[in-house]
Structure 1
Amino acid sequence: MAAGLQLQRCIVAQTGKHSASVIFLHGSGDTGQGLRMWVRDVLKQDLAFPHIRVIYPTAPARPYTPMGGALSNVWFDRYKISRDCPEHLESVEAMCRTLSEVVQQEVRAGVSKHRMLIGGFSMGGAMALHLVSRFHPDVAGVFALSSFLNKDSKVFQTVQGGRGQSMPELFQCHGTADALVPHNWGEMTVAQLQEEGVNATFHSFPGLQHQLARAELEKLRSWIIKKLPPEDPV
């Protein structure tokens, strides 16, 4: 995947002065527009802020091994959906370079990286963890909803020994009834990162399957405002 690839983006603009940005990555097979509509359907309104631009990029279509090689909008390939297999690092790293251009677009718009949050749902959350820990550890934070990392993930290797200094604060949520990505996969991901000193919080949502919930998104909204408060007027 070429680093210069321009991703399609769906944007919820700030209503006032643009001083912060959230990059929200969709799950496998979805699109940025699809995730934005899903969030809006659950919240009954957009995830919108006076000073924060919310950006929903779309992953390009690529052959996806768990679907027998069929084309799908996925951030990276997987050998299978499992904690126990190796990561497909070539595709992960190529997409990190591509997504870094989305980050740089916000920098060119006048937003410093410490005023950005990057996160996602499912595969989007895993992608965000790679992107932040390995390429943009100076952003304000990272969030992952219904997500997991493979047990030997490059992310763990990156933070190992550094006492979590290569990753900012992590906000993670997971439904207890998730059959696609089991709840304990999310728990183990956070526990492994916490062992290396990452400041991470894990929120369980009883009965929630592999989907978004209003309570979850409201909690995420509060965390976003805490991490990216309005700047004092000059």
Structure 2
Amino acid sequence: MLGQKEVLDSVQQCMEVQTSAIRPYTPMKGGISSVWFDRLKISNDCPEHLESINIMCQVLTDLIDDEIKSGIKKNRILVGGFSMGGCMAMHLAYRNHQDVAGVFALSSFLNKTSAVYQALRESDGVLPELFQCHGAADELVLHSWGEETNSMLKSLGVSAKFHSFPGVYHELSKAELEKLKSWILTKLPGELERQSE
């Protein structure tokens, strides 16, 4: 059994990390925060702030393009994140990059009227698989929002897995990271061996 540090190190080796932007954040009364995009409130029943989401989609698209230029095949790229990062990954993949290897979203949700759903209604191709985890005790991003997102994406043709973690709040758990690592290795077989060469 791997320790938490080893699991984190292994997962990090398989991912390219991009950080969010510094911007005013409406739920903090316009205070400056490091967030992927703005939102009107932390809720799944309000409109999305598409302007800020689209700006970050372009920043992340540039990062994907750089990876492709450096020789990484697009079908070997995973996108994902925790909380807003997972939401951002779903926007990026399902609206703009439906040919990536997969998507992971940890403690994340999409708004009920998300632009992601509209993009998927207009899509007719093969979609990247979604690996989703959520703490059942999460009081910031409700577990039910994650479940609703997963169900909606499934209804629109996404092969989606949803893993619940009892007693876990809005945080990462060792068990969750171990499941994520296993999923990454199924999507990108041989990745850890390549990293150690």
Tell me the TM-score normalized by structure 1.
Answer: 0.76
One-letter code aligned to 1:154: A
- Cα distance in structure 1, aligned partners of 2:9 and 2:94: 25
Report the equivalent of 2:138: 178
Superposed CA deviations along residues 89-122 of structure 1, whole A, max 9, x for unmatched, are 0110011001111111211221011001000000
Q: 1:162 aligns with which of 98, 123, 146?
A: 123
Match of 2:10, SS state, is: coil
Correspondence list, 1:15-94, <5 A: 43-45=4-6, 46-48=8-10, 53-94=14-55
2:15–2:78: 8 Å Cα contact kept in structure 1? no
Change (3 A) 1:99 1:196: same
More helix by share: 2
* Moved beyond 6 Å, runs of 4+: none
One-letter code aligned to 2:30: G
Q: 1:129 aligns with which of 84, 90, 101?
A: 90
Match of 1:48, SS state, is: helix
1:117 aligns with 2:78: yes
* CA apart distance, 1:168: 0.7
1:161–1:196: 8 Å Cα contact kept in structure 2? no
Report the equivalent of 1:224: 184
* CA apart distance, 1:162: 3.5
* CA apart distance, 1:47: 3.0
1:173–1:216: 8 Å Cα contact kept in structure 2? yes
Report the equivalent of 2:113: 152
Q: 1:98 aligns with which of 59, 71, 77?
A: 59
Report the equivalent of 2:152: 192
- Cα distance in structure 2, aligned partners of 1:54 and 1:160: 29
Match of 2:190, SS state, is: coil
1:48–1:54: 8 Å Cα contact kept in structure 2? no
Match of 1:57, SS state, is: coil
One-letter code aligned to 1:47: D
2:87–2:108: 8 Å Cα contact kept in structure 1? yes
* CA apart distance, 1:53: 4.5
> Tell me, which stretches of 5 or more residues in structure 2 are unaligned?
none
Match of 2:15, SS state, is: strand
* CA apart distance, 1:136: 0.9
> Tell me, which stretches of 5 or more residues in structure 1 are unaligned?
1-41
One-letter code aligned to 1:210: H
One-letter code aligned to 2:113: D
- Cα distance in structure 2, aligned partners of 1:161 and 1:118: 21
- Cα distance in structure 2, aligned partners of 1:108 and 1:194: 32
More displaced stretch, 143-152 vs 97-106: 97-106
* CA apart distance, 1:161: 5.1
Change (3 A) 1:53 1:187: closer
Tell me the TM-score normalized by structure 2.
Answer: 0.90
Q: How many equivalent pairs are there? A: 189
Identity of aligned residues (%): 56
- Cα distance in structure 1, aligned partners of 2:179 and 2:16: 19
Superposed CA deviations along residues 37-62 of structure 1, whole A, max 9, x for unmatched, are xxxxx82234327xx54222111210
